[in-house]
Amino acid sequence: MITLRTIRPSDINAIVSLSNRRLWQRHSGADEWFADPIKKENPMPWDNLTLHQKFLNGGVGCDPILYKNHLNWLTRNGGFVLAAEESDGIMKRIIAFAEIWCLEEPAPMGKTGSIVTFEVDTSFTEDPVSKLYTQCKKEIRMRGFSTLALCPFSSRAVMANLDDSRWELLALTRKYRIERGKLEASDLAHTVEDIPRAELPIREFYCFDQSISPYYHWSSVWEEYELLPEMIRAVHRSQARKVNIERGGKSITAILWVWNWGDVTDFWRLSIWVPPELQEDNELLLELIKIAQQVWDTDDIPGFILCVDEEHGSTLATRGFEINEDEPGEPRYYIGV
């Protein structure tokens, strides 16, 4: 029998065990993990990795310290986690769990609950996917949200419910690598100023990276690891910049921000927010990329990784920007609940 419920702090070890079973199943089989999994350098046994290196290989679900901190952060910010618990007599075990992030997003989303993680164990008596997914929709609706979104990490839920014709594809995003030295300066008249994190209008702005709920991504990178001494330096984050542009007699405000995982030498992830009515403006996107290379004119940042949907990506490709062929497209679906 399957019982669906919200997870408790006492479930943390069970969640970590499930996550690690799935991690090892996807792994090559040998106990060799890269200290830098992006460049695939310095392999070593799992037990020799630092907490940060384990995180880079397995995410927050790979260690009880990380997941306890993650669960506290998630629930403080309006998210929740549902579990499917299988019973066999007096024995009970969690065989699946889903993490949901709830937030008001710009059009067309509105009040949205995003399933950002949907993990299923390697063995079970009854497949829990359909029941857990249905409970996610019910919980989101009960909390006053009208839209359910599915991120790439929750693909099992998508596969289990693609027969629902109401699904709509919000974005199929790809990552583009942009070498800073190949960018020209922007000709647009503009000013750039630092903006405090508390004053950022990113709940109201549209983010070009729609592979995951943008505010979830932002909040996680900024807030989640501040209370863990081992992880404080896990993320290199720049000061967010507000860009004021004058174009065609109109004033435009945009937000730029870059970040990178600590101990990882690579291009930095670039996030760009604009007013929702400008989300289809490819020329504005190109100008903002040029402005970003002027703002972060330092050898420590050799280039940017920008995640955008196919329409914007085709514009980047015609300008010679390199698509990351090693990673598939990341779909994000949505549906009314």
Distance between CA atoms of residues 35 and 54, nearest Å: 8
Length of the chain: 337
162 falls in which pLDDT band (50, 70, 90)? very low
Q: Which of 129, 164, 199 is the last residue of a domain?
A: 164
Looking at residue 202, its amino acid is I
Checking if the pLDDT of 155 tops 70, the result is no
52-88 pLDDT per residue, tens: 889 888 989 999 999 999 999 999 888 999 999 998 8
Q: Are both 244 and 261 inside the same structural domain?
A: yes
Task: Indicate if the pLDDT at residue 152 is higher than 50.
Answer: yes
Count Cβ atoms within 10 A of the Cβ of residue 2 and give its class: 0-12 exposed, 13-18 middle, 19 or more buried. middle
d(CA 221, CA 66): 14
Q: Are 60 and 70 in contact (CB under 8 A)?
A: yes
| CA distance to 40, 88, 118, per residue, from 125 (Å) | 37, 9, 18
Structural domain ending residue among the three candidates 164, 183, 199: 164
- The answer on 322 and 196 residing in a single domain is yes
Write the DSSP symbol of residue 218.
H
Is residue 336 in a domain? Answer: no
Count: domains in the chain: 2
Q: What is the pLDDT of residues 202-248, one digit of tens each?
A: 778 888 888 777 777 777 777 787 778 878 777 787 888 999 998 88
CATH code, domain with 289:
3.40.630
Assess whether 62 and 85 both reside in one domain.
yes
Q: What is the CATH number of the domain that holds 70?
A: 3.40.630.30
**In this structure, is residue 249 part of a structural domain?**
yes
> Is 159 found in the same domain as 74?
yes
Residues 154 and 233 in one domain: no
Q: Which residues pair with 271 in a beta bridge?
A: 257
Range of the domain at 291: 172-331
Same-domain check for residues 310 and 240: yes
Regarding whether 278 and 242 lie in a shared domain, the answer is: yes
SS3 content of the chain, % helix, strand, coil (to 5): 35, 35, 35
End-of-domain residue from the set 164, 193, 212:
164
d(CA 307, CA 327): 11
Convert the pLDDT of each residue in 252-290 to its tens digit.
Answer: 999 999 988 766 567 898 999 999 899 889 999 999 999
| 56 and 182 assigned to the same domain | no
Cis peptide upstream of residue 108 (ω within 30 degrees of 0) = yes
> Following DSSP, what letter does each residue of 275-324 receive, concatenated?
-GGGTT-HHHHHHHHHHHHHHT-STT--EEEEEEEHHHHHHHHHTTPEE-
Domain shared by 21 and 118, yes or no: yes
| Residues 69 and 206 reside in one and the same domain | no
Q: How many CB atoms lie within 10 A of CB 38?
A: 13
Is the model's pLDDT at 293 over the cut of 50? yes
- Whether residues 270 and 124 fall in one domain: no
Residue 337 lies in a domain: no
Regarding whether 148 and 13 lie in a shared domain, the answer is: yes
Residue 157 scores a pLDDT above 60: no
Residues 6+ apart with CB under 8 A from 197: 222, 240
